[in-house]
């Protein structure tokens, strides 16, 4: 069976790109912590249904070619 050609690795992050990514991640974590403190979260079957919907939407977008 023919194997697909390996994809080249993306170029490494620059220091500025890394700092920007880390700042974005810190902001998302802070936002999530605030949501938890405020009681804005879902759990159990509701969380599973939400996750399944997110996966289905991502799969559909991928199959459409990322439109």
Q: Is 45 part of a structural domain of the chain?
A: yes
- Segment 28-55 shows an average pLDDT of 97
Domain extent at residue 57? 15-63
Q: How many domains does the chain have?
A: 1
* Any domain includes 59: yes
Answer whether residue 50 is part of any domain: yes
pLDDT score of 53:
97
3-state SS string for the chain = CCCCCCCCCCCCCCHHHHHHHHHHHHHHHHHHHHHHHCCCCCCHHHHHHHHHHHHHHHHHHHHCCCC
Percent of the chain beyond pLDDT 90?
Answer: 78
The structure's pTM equals 0.58
**In-domain check, residue 9:** no
Confidence of residue 21 (pLDDT cuts 50, 70, 90): very high
């Amino acid at each position: 069976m023919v194997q697909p050609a390996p994809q080249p690795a993306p170029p490494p992050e620059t220091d500025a790109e890394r700092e920007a990514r880390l700042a974005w991640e810190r902001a998302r974590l802070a936002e999530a912590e605030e949501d938890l403190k405020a009681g804005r979260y879902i759990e159990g079957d509701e969380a599973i249904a939400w996750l399944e919907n997110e996966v289905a939407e991502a799969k559909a977008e991928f199959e459409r070619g990322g439109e």
